[in-house]
Amino acid sequence: MKINDIISYLEQEFPLKRQEEWDNSGLAYRAKGKIDKIMITLTVTEQTIDKAVEQGVDLIISHHPIDFKNWIIDQNNELDFQKSQKIYQILQEKQLSLYVIHTNYDKSMMNQSLLRSLGLDIVETKCLVKEIELGLIGRLRKEIQLLELIKILKEKLGLKKLKISAVDLERKIEKISICAGSGKDLLDFAIKNSDVYLTGDTNYHAMEKACHYNYPLIDIGHHESETLGFKGLYEKLASVLNVKIIYYESENFHINY
């Protein structure tokens, strides 16, 4: 399959104009024109590229960009710049193309895919913040206990522990706000419009605010939530593109607690 046909499909389904201003979605590096095998993955690392070469992949489609727009080389991001340049160099050496689909995917499929993968009985959804287009509110067909929701999250996300604000675990939950990845900035909207908020990268101040309002904020992990949500892209492309596609979850992303 021609790479231009794949790109045309991606940009029709996930227009680049929908990405955030600071984002860097789109074709990051082009090597071969003919694509026989695609790897879908969350983040491009040296290990990811090694696996792609081992599997005979021609094109990697990643969620996270290698770098972002308007980077200035200074003492604060010099290491980031060196890291990104190393990845570009390896892509060139291995003749692997890379296409990035980040916040334009987040606004289209990420949270819908994540909710579906969690297996929750959702009867309707709406955008958490219409002007931003990130995050969803889903209404359950039937109320469940917060403790039951926690058990579902741990099982589906493969987590032994969850970070949650101190609230009554027996309270009933009907409306669930969700934002895969880093969504603590949407906490205020979630508090006003739903019974619980699921997101990643929460900090002390977000948890303190949630506790103040006796509101359940659950940190489901940036990596874990997006890994599950990005599988929706794999399922979509596997059903429409006439090319072999694999999904690879990096094995070298580990945080010890």
> What was the pLDDT predicted at 73?
46
Separation between Cα atoms, residue 175 and residue 65, nearest integer Å: 32
Q: Is the pLDDT of residue 252 over 90?
A: no
**CATH classification number, 112-222, choose in 3.30.1360.200, 3.40.1390.30, 3.40.50.970, 3.40.228.10:** 3.40.1390.30
Identify the band that residue 83 occupies on the pLDDT scale cut at 50, 70 and 90: confident
Identify the band that residue 131 occupies on the pLDDT scale cut at 50, 70 and 90: confident
Identify the band that residue 68 occupies on the pLDDT scale cut at 50, 70 and 90: confident
Q: Is the pLDDT of residue 71 over 60?
A: no
Q: Is the pLDDT of residue 135 over 90?
A: yes
Mean pLDDT value of segment 35-56: 96
Return the minimum-mean-pLDDT range out of 66-75, 92-101, 164-173.
66-75
% of the chain beyond a pLDDT of 70: 94
Contact 23, 68 (CB under 8 A): yes
> Phi and psi at residue 114, in whole multiples of 5°?
-65, -45
Identify the band that residue 243 occupies on the pLDDT scale cut at 50, 70 and 90: very high
> What was the pLDDT predicted at 130?
85
The full set of domain ranges for the chain reads: 3-101, 112-222
> What was the pLDDT predicted at 253?
61
Q: Over the chain, what is the mean pLDDT?
A: 93
> What was the pLDDT predicted at 79?
78
> What was the pLDDT predicted at 62?
97
CATH homologous superfamily of domain 3-101?
NIF3 (NGG1p interacting factor 3)-like (3.40.1390.30)
Q: pLDDT tens digits for 188-224?
A: 999 999 999 999 999 999 999 999 999 999 999 999 9
